[in-house]
Amino acid sequence: MKPQITGMLVAPAAALMFGVFVLPFLFLLVLSFWSQVPGSLGLDTSFTLANYVRIFGDSYYLGGLWTTLWLSGLVTLICLVLALPLSRWIVLRAGRAKGLIIGLSILPLVCGALLPTLGLVNLLSPLGFINGALKSMGVIQSSLPLLGNITGVTIGLVQAFLPLMILPLITTMERLSQDYEKAATSLGARPVVVWQRILLPLLLPGIVAGSLLVFCASLTAFVTPQVLGQGKVVTFASLAYQQAALVLDWPFASALAIVMLIFLTLAGVLGALVTRNFGRVA
């Protein structure tokens, strides 16, 4: 295809990206170096690093950043552990139900965040299904705290983002020839060794892609931590929302968003490095 035609075909998408992403992003970046006039909606446009000093100089915001990062890591790990056997079962054993099961697996993704999260509130609350069932069976006397803590938020995020791990893994597994596994088994490798030495290295591109998607989605998730955390689980997205929508300190909210974007970029770079390193090994 001629370069001119390629350019013409790419131009609409590039223009859209420039208009709806690059320009607002640049504005966000500039805004993060401004400040809010106290008691007003006005902005002081003189350059300042105060917002970033506030983020990195205050243990509360650093704590929020740390919580967000390790929570995202935990969610990614749980999703991986759950998705690996599930994806393998779907690829190898689901048979004619494969399409239906994949469809059911990605249902949380297409439902939006709010509806499943509110459903989880009914399941996890002190008056919800789980506590009610355990109490009626005499297993517990008082309600288990499943909301307003890391447990509830983790359950919600895993439920929401598990499809992001399943889909890349299924794609990778479907392309994987079973001959490697059969060859290793015929040479006496135990199942654990087959997973460790054969399957996991070959699945690494899917694992990296899925992990990256789940980690980034968890890092920026707002609705699930907000609703299931009940204000007690401090994440960067909920802090940014509080500053943007309630305090109306948009420069500080912008700085929080920029810090979050930096960590998203770092996660992407890390993923690329792992994949490249794996490529050399493979």
Partner 1 sequence: MKRIACFAAVAVGGLFACLPAMAQDYSGHTLTVGTWGGDIERLLREHVAGPLEAETGAKVEFLLGGSGDRLSKMAAERNNPTMDVTFQNIYEAPLALKDGLVVAPDAAAVPNAADVWPGMNEGCYAMSLVGLGIAYSKSLFPEEPEWADLWQPQFRGMMAYAPYPSSEGDGMLAVAARVAGADEHDPDAAFAKLAELGAPKLTYSSLDEVLSLMDAGEIAAAPMISGYVISNLANYEGIGFVFPKDPGPVLVRDMVCQVANSPEPELAQMFIDLAIGIDTQTAYAKELNFGPTNSKVALTEAEAANVINTPEEVASLLQMDWPYVIEQRSAWTDRWNKEILGQ
Range in contact with partner 1 (rule: CB under 8 A) among 88-96, 191-199, 210-218, 239-247: 239-247
Binding of partner 1 at residue 141 (CB under 8 A)?
A: no
Is residue 51 within 8 Å of 252, Cβ to Cβ? Answer: yes
The strand pairing partners of 36, in sequence order, are 43
Q: Which is nearer to partner 1, 7 or 231 (CB)?
A: 231
Is the Cβ of residue 242 or residue 275 nearer to partner 1 in the bound state? Answer: 242
Contacts with partner 1, 59-98, as mask; x by CB under 8 A = -x--------------------------------------
Q: Which stretch binds partner 1 (CB under 8 A): 17-25, 76-84, 122-130, 173-181?
A: 122-130
Choice between 15 and 248, CB closer to partner 1: 248
Of 94, 73, 91, residue with least CA distance to 218: 73
The three-class DSSP label of residue 45 is: coil
Q: What are the start-end ranges of the H helices in 36-93?
A: 50-57, 59-93
What number of other Cβ atoms are within 10 A of residue 229's Cβ?
Answer: 21
Alpha helices in 128-199 (DSSP H): 129-136, 150-175, 179-186, 191-193
Kindly state whether residue 115 participates in binding partner 1, applying the rule CB under 8 A: no
The CA distance from 143 to 232, in Å, is: 18
What is residue 100's three-state secondary structure?
helix
Question: Cβ 121 to partner 1, closest distance in Å?
Answer: 7
Q: Does 125 bind partner 1 (CB under 8 A)?
A: yes
Single out the segment in contact with partner 1 by CB under 8 A; choices: 9-17, 123-131, 162-170, 187-195. Answer: 123-131
Nearest-approach distance from CB 255 to partner 1, in angstroms? 13
Give residues 11-50 in contact with partner 1 (rule: CB under 8 A): 36, 38-42
Beta carbons of 154 and 226 less than 8 angstroms apart: no
Calculate ∠ Cα 180-184-188, nearest 5°: 165
**Alpha helix locations (H) across 221-249?**
223-229, 236-241
Q: Which of 189, 242, 264, 278 binds partner 1 (CB under 8 A)?
A: 242
- Min dist. Cβ of residue 20 to partner 1 (A): 15
**Residue numbers of the site for partner 1 (CB under 8 A)?**
36, 38-42, 58, 60, 121, 125-127, 143, 148, 226-227, 230-232, 234, 242-250, 252
